[in-house]
Amino acid sequence: MTFSIARLRLDAEILSIAAAALLGLSLIFVAGFANATVLHDAAHDQRHAIAFPCH
């Protein structure tokens, strides 16, 4: 019983790490790569400053 509870917690840990990585990558994509004009205009100076390829 304790073994399966421990394994459940480990699985939840792997899931939370994967979720954090995935969310992080999506945020980086939005900040640096997404193409929408409104987004590009708002992000313009930041993209140059962080050196995401821009234009």
Partner 1 sequence: MPVIPRTLSGALIAGLVAGLLAAALNLWTLTPLILQAEVFEGATLHVHDDGVEHLHEAPPPPGAAQAGSRSLGTVATTLVAYLGFGLVLGAGMAAAARWGHEPTARTGLLWGLAGFAAVQLAPAVGLPPELPGLASADLGARQMWWALCVAATATGLAALAFGRSLPFLVLGAALVLLPHALGAPQPASHEGLVPPGLAALFATRSLGVAALSWAVLGALTGALAERSPARRTA
| Relative orientation angle of helices 37-50 and 2-32, to the nearest 10 degrees | 100
Closest CA to 46 of 27, 20, 22: 27
Q: Is 24 in the site for partner 1 (CB under 8 A)?
A: yes
Which of 6, 8, 11, 25 contacts partner 1 by CB under 8 A? 25
Provide Rg for the chain, Cα atoms: 18
Q: Is 55 in the site for partner 1 (CB under 8 A)?
A: yes
Q: Is 7 in the site for partner 1 (CB under 8 A)?
A: no
Query: Interface with partner 1 by CB under 8 A: which residues?
Result: 9, 13-14, 16-18, 20-21, 23-33, 39, 41-55
